[in-house]
Structure 1
Amino acid sequence: MAMAPVSFLLIFFLTTAGLTLQTCCFDSPGHSANLSTIWTCTSPTTDVLVANPLLSRPVPDNHNLHFAAGFYNYPLVNTYIFGVYTVTDADVWSANRDQLIRQNSTLSFTAEGDLVLQHPDGSLVWSTNTSGQSVAGMTLTESGNLVLYNHNNLPVWQSFDHPTDSLLPGQRLVQGMRLKPNALAVNLTASDLYYLTVHSDGLYAFAGSSNSQPYYEFTVSTGNKSQNPPAYLTLANRSLDIFVPSSSSANLEHLSLQSPALSLQYIRFESDGQLRLYEWQADQKGSTWLYVQDVFPFQYCDYPTACGEYGICSNGLCSCPTATESHIQYFRPVDDRRPHLGCTLETPISCQFVQDHQLISLPNVSYLYYDSSRVPELSDEESCKQACLTTCSCKAALFRYVDNKSAGDCTLVSQVLSLKTSYPGYDSLAFLKVQITPSPHLEKHRLVPLVPVLVGVASFFVMLTIVLVVVQIRRQQDKDGEDEFAELPGMPTRFSFQMLKLATKDFSNKLGEGGFGSVFSGQLGEEKIAVKCLDQASQGKREFFAEVETIGRIHHINLVRLIGFCLEKSHRLLVYEFMPKGSLDQWIYYKDSNDTLDWRTRRNIITDIARALAYLHEECTHKIAHLDIKPQNILLDDNFNAKVCDFGLSRLIHRDQSHVTTRMRGTPGYLAPEWLTSHITEKVDVYSYGVVMIEIINGRPNLDHSNLGGGIQLLKLLQEKAQNSHLEDMIDRKCNDMSLHQQDVIRIMKLAMWCLQSYCNRRPSMSLVMKNIQSQC
């Protein structure tokens, strides 16, 4: 079955899903290397994102973009990967992502022509295994291919033949090769659940660790197949080209991509099972990657792990199976607060007690894998159920009627990933295997002689239980909720309180104080950090959990990076990257200072905030509403690049939800009118962003009780000036540069007024705001 892809808006996305590329130390790089060369991985000596790679090669027609080969490091854990990446924060190939290395590991290009990666103790990590194959040198090509070549300049080994999760233009995914997600980026089990490959009749994506089944197919009809040459997939000419051999010729099919291909593109197989297209674009501040398109035409519930194992997806919401024929609860959520992580059996299934196995029925529930794992000889519902009950490895039986309810397709499943509700009339049934406890009515007379013994044993265990409960309660009070974070995948580094106390010199240098606590500067190794000490009375467990979980899963150049956290007894601390210029309010609210920001810097800050909000609202699996956008929550680095921080009040909004209902939260002066109804969308951030834009342009806070002569409310003053066509009066007159760019400033001010519409549906999306800002450059 062939499926056509769905196009998406062009939106900004940081493609490395949390990787920070920092190379180890090398000499000035070229694009080639000779035999008998050894490089040692040491700590980065610069704060620049990428510096001193092993090999480097500019991309043709994109001289600001380079391919590089070298070591790059995962933040804070002092572990490194050797691979090929673009010098704009996107890795496209890696040698050792399943076995990370540490400092003082070595990469040796031996005299025998083998490229060998070793731990500091000399143990082998990875090798090209090309010793004795007449290798003469190594080079990095203009297309990003790392090549070991012989004396005839022919490739002996090349990274293009060993793809990991990405495919560059001109690179072929040949039949038998696989793309697998980078498990280290987001989900530690992702690489075991998904892979993308090419078969003799087209492109397939598979899911499942025990018995992988296809969840996406793009097949090519060729008649008689030929196995020579093999089929392959390649990215070229704004399309994914699939070549499938036949007995007479090679048939070609195009998976068309909705992109103008103005610059370098590549595709990446992601940890959620989606194949995505990225495109590089240069801007005034450097460069960035655009997330262009999802190749697979999926809705949220179409993903094999949308709701985790055993989870049922319905209109983007996740729930656990419930037996319709009884009130017994056989399944419970893995995490009550995060239903998308899936469900687990209350009683694990054991093959030693097959007599206690039972199937529970779930009507109108479908599964993705009917075609390839169905059992043709089981065409009636009862025989399908019995086959699952008598097969220990079977975890579920899926049945779908196909012939007026007289016959159907049976599928036996050994690993139950996400299920989804089907529309009425689809006639699909799911039967999940559960383990039941033996009946209490079995042979009661055998229990009579055991009653005195059981009473004595029970009394002992009751006393023991009381003692253990008391001890556990005391321990639990000491831990103060620490277990909530014990099994969260992809969490930032967890620090002890003592470690952060030393890093901050006993919290001696306070940077500032906010609604949720104080912020102190500190030092962890070579990295300067900011430690936020939360006031328990101001921010409870729920807000702390929200901030760690939300920021721990998202990564963007305009979001402050959460390095780690501490949850130890009553101590709750968050560790962020250090932002040397502090918060935005210190630079736009001033009275007698000559150190004002010029218009270009203010405009860049406005753009950075918009880029961050567009990512939160439109790039994440769920929309993230920040709910507290204000200058105090926007931090600046040395170059006045802006980053959004403080996610303690944020809320996740499912893609199918029009709004969420929540109590009023945020800061007076930045609250959208709909807060009075408690029906909230991400558009409340758009309103707050509009307020911040006006404050940046005017140089004063929205609510200023000290400014009686100029008006307490900045927005009311804006309304008056707009009605009288005197918007130029709103421009900060303390900065002469603002007046020189008056027309540009007024255009941005009008965009802010669009964001400040009273009705949320009249406000633009943040991607539309970005488009308008860029169109005015």
Structure 2
Amino acid sequence: MKDLGEADVILGIRIIRDHGTISLSQSHYIEKVLKRFDLYDSTLVSTPMDCNVKLVANKGEPTINYGLRYTGQPSVLEEYTDASWNSSEEDHASMLRSESSRGKHLGMQRKEGIWTHGRYSVKEYKKLFLTYVKVWSSGHYSKLYVFDKCVLELTKDGDLRLKGRKKHVGWRTGTAGQGVEKLQLLSTGNLVLVDEMGLIKWQSFNFPTDVMLQGQRLDVATQLTSFPRDSNMFYTFEVLRDKIALFVNSGQVKYSYWEYKPAKNQNVNFIRLGLEGLDLFDDNSHKIARIEPERTERTQLLRFLAVGNRTGNLGLYSYSSEKGKFETSFQALNGTCDLPLACKPYGICTFSKACSCIKIATEEENSMGSDCGEEISGEKRRSLCDHEMLELDGVKTVLKNGTRVDNVSKEACEEMCKKDCKCTAAMYSEEGCFIYGIVMGVKQISIRLLNRQNLKHEE
């Protein structure tokens, strides 16, 4: 036996190593088959199929280079999917197949493939790609960290598990005893567990993360959640009975910073991302509203919706074949200063989109200090009872649902905040008095309105 070095192609599967990752692709095999039958440069022709199947134009890139990629920590099961989505028919699915129920052999094929019962030892975790956009992750809310390798196991009783060392189960589907026979990745991007009759027993669409795929549905009281790096706050996109909204969450409080309500106060039952927009439906499954890109942005079909983990902005994305990447066709918020975390807490987003810290008078020193980025908790929060207030002119907050009190004066609004140990800010305007438990999303406004942001921070 002779050592030939690192493998490049095995059984028609190309192995690509790049920056600590290993990708498996069948592009080499596909090219070989096409060239063998002299079809590599052939033009597209009609394909006989069921006349009842509705197809749409494919404006994405060819899927010849899609495959599996293994990367480093944390060890989670992540799903990426392909951009061709010509139809939502389940028999056109991309699926996974295991060639061994005991070994470490993991394979992928484009047509009918499955993962059946067994344990699959994976040194690093696997991904499927939508042009390198992650669309679902088992570790979105709770990651499994391992030192060496993790094991993905579809047990004989039908439970899909991700396990670390000493058989610690870091994630599971909870489908034991439901007759699960195989794992499939459908052409819709939905990862499913099905029984021998093909009935879905578990699906990733029921456990959304921060991305919603074309054709996916979100019911009332479900949400997408996005986690900014280096912050204990997080964003949510929520489907409510009277609206859909974006929220920023901090501890026990949360505030909306973007909302969309259907006309005539119609109730929302669920939403679905279509090829041309985000559709809202009522209790009778009638479409009552649509959020769609501007007409100048409608050249490409929508592929997914996402809540950005850095900005918290909501975007609808389509694929640009010219640029070879996904681009936003619609954004809920177009101004930097309209984002809740454009600046750190106790910061003001100015006309120039720069951040200016609110100057706070402290008890320990008789001067104005800067506390940009600090949050109030524990003893500091208790010291806010009956505190003084700092009044700021020419600013407002993008947070929309502070506790509202009507028919009170500005002075009474200030006193209410001073007596409330949980109040860190109050805004007074013609619309009323609004009490807030966090100070963020503050931005400069172009004209001097009656809005007042009154802040106090105790050292």
Q: TM-score, normalised by structure 1?
A: 0.42
Match of 2:133 in 1: 90
Kindly tell me: are residues 84 and 318 of structure 1, through their superposed partners in 2, closer, same or farther at Cα, counting changes over 3 Å? same
Partner of 1:443: none
Distance 1:390 1:28 in 2: 73
Equivalent residue pairs, number? 361
* CA-CA distance at 1:265 after TM superposition: 1.8
What one-letter code is carried by the residue in structure 1 that aligns with 2:345?
E
Label 1:268 to 1:69 Cα distance change in 2 as closer, same or farther (>3 A): farther
Change (3 A) 1:171 1:153: same
Please give the secondary structure, in 1, of the residue aligned with 2:389: strand
Please point out which of 210, 214, 221 is paired with 2:256.
214
Relative to 1, partners in 2 of residues 1:352 and 1:376: Cα closer, same or farther, differing over 3 Å? closer
Tell me the residue number matched to 1:138: 183
Say if 1:263 and 1:369 are closer, same or farther in 2 by CA, change over 3 A.
closer
Q: Secondary structure at the match of 1:304?
A: coil
**Which whole-Å CA distance do the structure 2 matches of 1:257 and 1:391 have between them?**
43
Superposed, 1:101-140 pairs within 5 Å as 101-102=145-146, 103-140=148-185
Task: Choose from 266, 274, 277 the match for 2:316.
Answer: 277
- Looking at structure 2, the residues matched to 80 and 64 of structure 1 have their Cα atoms a distance apart, in angstroms, of 29
Cα distance in 1 for residues equivalent to 2:67 and 2:264: 40
| Distance apart, 1:111 and its partner CA | 0.8
Provide, for residues 141-184 of structure 1, a one-character-per-residue CA deviation record: whole Å limited to 9, x for no partner: 1111101112321211111111111111101122222111254x
| Alpha-carbon shift at residue 358 of structure 1 (Å) | 1.5
5+ residue gaps, structure 1: 1-26, 31-43, 335-341, 403-407, 437-777
> Is 1:318 aligned with 2:355?
yes
Gaps of 5+ in 2: 1-9, 31-55, 82-128
* 1:396 counterpart = 2:425: yes
Against the structure 1 CA distance between its residues 150 and 96, is the aligned structure 2 distance closer, same or farther, given a 3 Å change threshold?
A: same
Name whichever of 134-143 and 262-271 sits farther off: 262-271
Question: How far has the Cα of 1:116 moved from its partner?
Answer: 0.5
**What amino acid sits opposite 1:202 in the alignment?**
K
Answer whether contact 2:424 2:436 (CA < 8 A) is retained: yes
Cα gap change, 1:309 to 1:377, in 2 (>3 Å):
same
Letter in 1 for 2:307: F
Q: 1:332 to 1:352 in 2, by over 3 A?
A: closer
Higher strand share: 2
Tell me which amino acid in the other structure corresponds to 2:303.
Answer: Q
Aligned to 1:51: 23
Amino acid in the other structure paired with 1:270: G
Residue 179 of structure 1: SS of its match in structure 2? strand
User: How big is the shift at 1:350?
Assistant: 4.5
Residue number in structure 2 paired with 1:423 = 446
Cα distance change, pair 131–70 in 1 and its aligned pair in 2 (3 A)? farther
Shift of the 266–73 alpha-carbon distance from structure 1 to 2, 3 Å rule, reads same
**Contact residue 202 and residue 231 of structure 1 kept, 8 A:** no
Identical-pair percentage = 24
CA distance in 2, matches of 1:398, 1:52: 56
**Distance in 2 (alpha carbons) for counterparts of 1:70 and 1:172:** 26
Q: Indicate the residue corresponding to 1:578 in structure 2.
A: none
Could you tell me which amino acid in structure 1 is paired with residue 319 of structure 2?
W
CA drift of 1:244 comes to 3.0
Aligned pairs for 1:546-561 within 5 A: none
8 A Cα contact 2:180 2:194, kept in partner:
yes
Match of 1:99 among 133, 136, 143: 143
Query: Hey, what's the Cα distance between the residues in 2 that align with 1:428 and 1:149?
Result: 56
Change (3 A) 1:249 1:112: closer
For the 8 Å contact 1:72–1:81, the answer to whether it is kept is no
Write the mapping of 1:249-268 to structure 2, written as runs, cut at 5 A.
Answer: 250-258=286-294, 259-260=297-298, 262=300, 265-268=303-306
- Which residue of 366, 370, 375 maps to 2:396? 366
**Does the C-alpha gap of structure 1 residues 127 and 70 become closer, same or farther in structure 2, counting only changes over 3 Å?**
farther
Deviation of 1:243 (Å): 1.6
Structure 1 CA distance for aligned equivalents of residues 65 and 269 of structure 2? 28
In the superposition, relative to structure 1, how do residues 136 and 323 fare at CA in structure 2: closer, same or farther (>3 Å)?
closer
Residue aligning to 2:415: 386
Quick check: 2:320–2:327 contact (8 Å CA) kept in 1? no
Measured against aligned partners, the alpha-carbon deviations of 1:354-402 in whole angstroms (never above 9, x if no partner) come to 46x22111122211234x22332562112211111111111111111x2
- Report the Cα distance in structure 2 between the residues aligned to 1:45 and 1:69, rounded to whole angstroms: 10
| Structure 1 residue corresponding to 2:324, chosen from 288, 298, 317 | 288
Larger RCO: Structure 1 or Structure 2 (Cα < 8 Å, ≥ 6 residues apart)?
2
When residues 333 and 384 of structure 1 are mapped into structure 2, their CA distance, relative to the original with a 3 A threshold, is closer
> Relative to structure 1, is the Cα distance of residues 195 and 140 closer, same or farther in structure 2, using a 3 angstrom cutoff?
same
Map of 1:232 onto structure 2: 270
Report the alpha carbon displacement of residue 212 of structure 1 after superposing the two structures with TM. 0.9
Alignment of 1:490-505 (within 5 A): none
Instruction: Tell me the equivalent position of 1:203.
Output: 244
- Gap change, CA 1:329 and 1:199, over 3 Å in 2: farther
1:66/1:116 CA distance change after superposition, 3 Å: farther
Per-residue CA deviations over 1:596-637 (Å, capped at 9, x if unaligned) read xxxxxxxxxxxxxxxxxxxxxxxxxxxxxxxxxxxxxxxxxx
Q: Is the 8 A contact 2:315 2:331 kept in 1?
A: yes
Provide the rounded CA distance (Å) in 2 between the counterparts of 1:115 and 1:362.
Answer: 55
Q: Kindly indicate whether the alpha-carbon contact (under 8 Å) linking 2:219 and 2:270 is maintained by their aligned counterparts in 1.
A: yes
CA distance in 2, matches of 1:101, 1:171: 30
Q: Quick check: which one's helix share is greater?
A: 1
Written as runs of structure 1 = structure 2, the 5 A alignment for 1:157-196 is: 157-183=202-228, 187-189=229-231, 192-196=233-237
Partner of 1:15: none
Against the structure 1 CA distance between its residues 137 and 143, is the aligned structure 2 distance closer, same or farther, given a 3 Å change threshold?
same
1:298 is aligned to 334
| Structure 1 residues 739-754: aligned runs within 5 Å | none
Aligned mates of 1:177, 1:71 — CA distance in 2: 30
Q: What is the Cα deviation at residue 73 of structure 1? A: 2.9
1:238–1:261 contact (8 Å) kept in structure 2: no
Tell me if structure 1 keeps the 8 A contact 2:210–2:306. Answer: yes
